[in-house]
Structure 1
Amino acid sequence: MMKLEAKTRNSGQKFDKMKDILAVVYGPEIKENLNLVLNYNDFVKVFEESGYSTIINLVVDGEEHDVLVKEVQIDPKEDVYSHVDFYAIVRGQELEVMVSLEFTGESEAVKQGAVMNTALTEVEIKAMPRDLPSELIVDLSKLKNVGDTIRLEDIELPEGVSFVSEDLEMTIASVSEAVTAEQEEEAQAEGPEFETEQEEEAQEGEEKTEEKTEE
C-alpha cells in the first residue's frame, strides 16, 4: 500500500504552495474534519500512481488512516495542485469510485485508415476496498471493422466489482470511416445552402405574420 505523511494544519499557518499542498480528511468515522498540510512532491508522486481508486495509507502526526483521493483542485494561474480531499474509508463498507480506462491493443480497422472514437476515459464502479482495481482494460483490437463498438457491458470486471451505471449499452469506443477531403468540401458547400434555406423560410414566416397584423 502506498504511504503519505501529513501534518495537522493550524489556522493562520503559513505554507509554500510550491513545496506544500493543503488537504482535508473526512469520512464516516472521522468525527471532525482533519485539516492538513503535506509535501507537494510526495503527493504528486503517489497520486500519479494511485489515481482515485487506490487506497493510500495516510499518516497524520503518527496516526494512520486508509484513504482514497476524493477530489483534487488545481490553481489555474500556477497550473499546480492547490488542495486535495481525502476520504477515510471504512473496511468492509462498499465504495463507489471513478476508475480510469486503460486502452490497449490496436484496431485492424484503424490500421486500414478508419478513425477511432473514444467516448469515455473513466467509469464509476462499486466494490469493497480490498477489491478496487487501479484501472480497467479496454482491448481496442476487438474493433475489427468500421461500425464496431465496445460498450460498457463488454469490459471485463474483476471479481467483486460492478458498474454503478445501469446503462450497460453505453458506448466506450467505436470505429468510423475517415472523412475525405472531398466529403469535407461537400459538407462545407452544403452548410451555407442549408442555412440560406432556413433563413428564407424564417423570413417568409415573418412576412406572413406582418400581413396578418396589417389586416
Structure 2
Amino acid sequence: MAETKLSAEKRTEFGKGAARRIRRADKIPAVVYGHGEAPVHVTLPGHATMIALRQSNALLEIDLEGERHLTLPKDVQRDPIKGFIEHVDLITVRRGEKVTVDVTLVLTGEAAGNTVVNQELTTLSVEAEATHLPESFEVSVEGLQAGSQIAAGDVPLPEGTTLAGDPAQLVVVVQGAASAAQAEAELEGLEAEAGIVREESHSDDQGGAA
C-alpha cells in the first residue's frame, strides 16, 4: 500500500470552540499516539486528509515540523448528518511491524439461479505488515448453489497476511429464493403474531351495486 504524505502542525488550542475554528480553516484536529510515546495533538490539511481516508486502512506519513511519523487511522469521527471529518486518531507504526486491521470484503460473480446470497461479514480481521496492508479481499460466489457457505478460513489471503479472527465464522450463506406464495404466507404469519388484521376490500361489492 502506498503511503500518503501529510504536513501537520502542532495544536495548542483545545475544546469545542477551538475545534470549530480549526475546521473553519479547512483543517482537521487529530492526535498521534502509540509505542509508549506521549500523544501529540496536531492539525491536518482538511481536503488532503479527507481524500486519503477514503481508502481503507490508509498508511499516512505525517510530517510534523520535520519529524516524520508513520501512522494508521485508528478512529475517524464524522459528523452524523453532514459527514465531514471532525477528528482523527492516528496510531504510529513501524516498518516491518505486524498490525491487526479489518479489511473490506467484496463479493464477485453471480450465484446459481433462484438463490439469495446473504453476506454475513463485510470485513475480515487479519494480521499483516504495516506497510503492506491489503485494500480489500474478493470473495467469489460464482455458480454457488443453495446451501453453499463460505467461511472466513476459506477466503484466499495474499502472502504475508494471516487471519486474525475465527476461521469458522461465516462470510457468505447461499439460500434458495422463497416463492411469492411462501413470502406472503410468512408475512401473514408474522402479522397474525403481531395482532395485525388486514382490512378486506369491498370494491367488488360496491362495484356490483346498482
Same fold (TM over 0.5): yes
Deviations 1:55-101 (A, max 9, x none): 22121223211111111011224321111111100233321111111
Q: Are residue 25 (structure 1) and residue 32 (structure 2) matched? A: yes
Matched residues in 1 for 2:93 and 2:122: separation? Answer: 25
Q: What's 1:150 paired with?
A: 150
CA spacing shift, 1:77–1:185, aligned 2, 3 Å: closer
Q: What's 1:136 paired with?
A: 137
Deviations 1:101-150 (A, max 9, x none): 1222222x1xx232111111111111222442122221221x52111111
Q: 1:74 aligns with which of 64, 78, 83?
A: 78
Q: Are residue 41 (structure 1) and residue 40 (structure 2) matched? A: no
Aligned residue for 1:191, secondary structure, equals: helix
Q: Give the Å deviation of 1:163.
A: 1.2
CA spacing shift, 1:140–1:3, aligned 2, 3 Å: farther
Aligned length: 188
More strand by percentage: 2
Q: Which runs of 5+ in 1 are unaligned?
A: 197-215
Amino acid of the structure 1 residue aligned with 2:5: K
CA RMSD of aligned residues (A): 2.1
Q: 2:92 aligns with which of 83, 88, 93?
A: 88
More helix by percentage: 1
Amino acid of the structure 1 residue aligned with 2:50: V
TM-score (norm 1): 0.78
CA contact (8 A) 1:28 1:90 kept: no
Residue identity (%): 28
TM-score (norm 2): 0.80
